[in-house]
Amino acid sequence: MLNDTPRAVIVPDGARQDFLPVLFGHSHLIVAENAIYAWMERLSPLDYRGGSWDFYEHQGKPLFLAPRSKARFRITGDVTCFQGEVSAEAAGIIATMFAFSHLSFQFQSERLVEGYEHLYAYSADHPEASEIFQAID
């Protein structure tokens, strides 16, 4: 990151069961998780073929999901004007932000809005902030 703010870290396997309910709420966790996977398929149709995902937290709070299947993903889908290659972490941030944004229009949930705002603020200091913001613009 550009400043001294600590980077997000992968949630250990033993704590994964609490991640999605805290990030999205119990009532939205399944639809939100599936939305992230669907957004990733649309954002990176050339590279994303499913697989396992890491859960990332920042300062002890759930933040985003990122695919494990590749180190880098080409963002070439019809969802965004951005065309480029990003790390799996940045791709996950982008997909998670799309899911937060679109789900917040479907459901009245302060948690979805707060999740988006928290991830947006974190992304401002990410090494790939330029690519992330171009992709979500």
Q: Taking the domains of the chain in order of start, what are their residue ranges? A: 9-136
- Token representation of residue 67: 């695919």
| pTM check: above 0.75 | yes
- Going by the DSSP 8-state scheme, the letter that residue 48 receives in this structure is -
Encode pLDDT of 21-49 as tens digits. Answer: 999 999 999 999 999 999 999 999 999 99
Q: Which CATH code for domain 9-136?
A: 3.30.70.3580
Q: Is 12 helix (H, G, I), strand (E, B) or coil?
A: coil
Q: What are phi and psi of 88, to 5 degrees?
A: -60, -40
- Token representation of residue 10: 């992968």
Encode pLDDT of 77-115 as tens digits. Answer: 789 999 999 999 999 999 999 999 999 989 989 999 999
